[in-house]
Amino acid sequence: MIKSILFLLCACLFNANSFAQSLSIYCEDDKPMEFVGPDHKLTGFGVEVVQEIQRRVGNKDEIKMTLWALGLRELDSRPNTALFSMARTAERDPKYLWVGPIAERNYGLYVKADSTLNVTNLEEAKAVRAIGVYHGDVRDQYLTKLGFKNLDRADQNVSNFKKLMLDRVVMYAGSTADIKSQAESAGYAISDVKLAFNFLKAQLFITFSKGTDPALVAQWNKALDDMKKDKTFLSLHRKYYPDIDPPGPLVAPY
pLDDT in the model for residue 4:
45
Asked if domains 24-103+204-240 and 105-201 share a fold, the reply is yes
| For residues 197-206, average pLDDT | 96
| For residues 216-228, average pLDDT | 98
**Closest by Cα among 200, 142, 135, 143 to 163:** 135
Report the residue count for the chain.
254
| For residues 196-217, average pLDDT | 97
- Strand partners of residue 35: 43
Tens of pLDDT, residues 139-186: 999 999 999 999 999 999 999 999 999 999 999 999 999 999 999 999
Would you say residue 3 has pLDDT above 90?
Answer: no
**Cα gap 136→155, rounded to integer Å:** 9
Confidence of residue 19 (pLDDT cuts 50, 70, 90): low
pLDDT in the model for residue 134:
94
**Cα gap 5→190, rounded to integer Å:** 63
- Strand boundaries in 90-237, DSSP class E: 96-112, 131-134, 151-154, 171-175, 193-209
Confidence of residue 21 (pLDDT cuts 50, 70, 90): confident
User: In the CATH hierarchy, which fold is given to the domain comprising 105-201?
Assistant: D-Maltodextrin-Binding Protein; domain 2 (3.40.190)
- Strand boundaries in 144-232, DSSP class E: 151-154, 171-175, 193-209
Task: Output the average pLDDT for the chain.
Answer: 92
pLDDT in the model for residue 85:
97
∠ at Cα 215 (48, 208), nearest 5°? Answer: 50
**Closest by Cα among 16, 57, 46, 95 to 241:** 46
**Cα gap 75→92, rounded to integer Å:** 12
How buried is residue 190: exposed, middle or buried, by Cβ count under 10 Å (0-12/13-18/19+)? middle
Q: How is the chain split into domains, by residue range?
A: 24-103+204-240, 105-201
Give the number of other Cβ atoms within 10 Å of residue 103's Cβ.
25
Q: What's the pTM value of the predicted model, to 2 decimals? A: 0.87
pLDDT in the model for residue 20:
64
State which CATH number among 3.40.190.10, 3.30.1490.270, 3.10.150.10, 3.30.10.20 fits the domain covering 24-103+204-240. 3.40.190.10
Tens of pLDDT, residues 99-146: 999 999 999 999 999 999 999 999 999 999 999 999 999 999 999 999
- Strand partners of residue 37: none
- Strand partners of residue 30: 34
Would you say residue 14 has pLDDT above 50?
Answer: no
How buried is residue 25: exposed, middle or buried, by Cβ count under 10 Å (0-12/13-18/19+)? buried
| For residues 33-46, average pLDDT | 97
**Cα gap 192→115, rounded to integer Å:** 10
CB 216 within 8 A of CB 19: yes
